[in-house]
Amino acid sequence: MKKIFFLFLVLGLVLGLGALSVSAQETKPSGNEGASTVPAQAVKNGLACSGMYTFLKEGEFVQVTVEDAGHVTGFVSRFGDGESDKGAFLDQFFKSGKIEGNKLGFTTEIVHGVAFEFKGTVERGEGKNPGDEAYFVLKGTLIENASDVNKKVTSHSREVAFKMFPQDAAPAATVRK
């Protein structure tokens, strides 16, 4: 399982979506122990929360990249749950994504009849230093919309907390000048 995790971690970085190193180096700890909200300026710049986070099951992850003007791109990599894709690794790219202050939202494309919608906040986690596991956490509501063969959509909502992966789990990203 660790080999699969590492493979997809490297895959995410190869795609150029791993701004983790730059974000962690330029973000200063808030000084508060425990969870607190992220400074709005850090989130506005995309320096704080761009990176890879846990998803619903071990080995699954969500990549979040904050771009100019609060636009967010990324993808969810997860295991399929349906009869035709059980255990297969599926990538679901963001159809839309936005961040305002520390409020984050995104919607994925539909893949094999399933799409996700997240609405929540970016918060400081229990990680003590930039680059630590769970230095930032995405907390909020995740809605899973699944459609069957008759196009009937069922929605399942749950409260989630996705922890940022530690920086040393991947090679450092280079800074372009």
Contact 130, 51 (CB under 8 A): no
Q: Is residue 32 part of a domain?
A: yes
Q: Is residue 135 part of a domain?
A: yes
- The first and second tokens of residue 102, run together, are 């520390």
Q: Is residue 118 part of a domain?
A: yes
Check: pTM over 0.85? Answer yes or no: no
- The first and second tokens of residue 58, run together, are 């071990």
Say what the pLDDT of residue 129 is.
86
Q: Is residue 164 part of a domain?
A: yes
Rounded Cα distance between 48 and 54, Å, is 16
Say what the pLDDT of residue 68 is.
84
Q: Is residue 174 part of a domain?
A: no
Mean of pLDDT over the chain: 77
Q: Which domain holds residue 99?
A: 2-169
Q: Is residue 177 part of a domain?
A: no
Q: Is residue 23 part of a domain?
A: yes
For residue range 100-145, what is the model confidence (pLDDT) as tens digits?
Answer: 999 999 999 999 999 999 999 999 999 898 888 999 999 999 999 9
Q: Is residue 8 part of a domain?
A: yes
CATH of the domain at 112: 2.40.128.30
* Coil, helix or strand at residue 8: helix
Contact 123, 36 (CB under 8 A): yes
Residues 6+ apart with CB under 8 A from 125: 35, 134, 135, 136, 137, 163, 164
H/E stretch holding 76 reads strand 72-79
> How many domains does the chain contain in total?
1
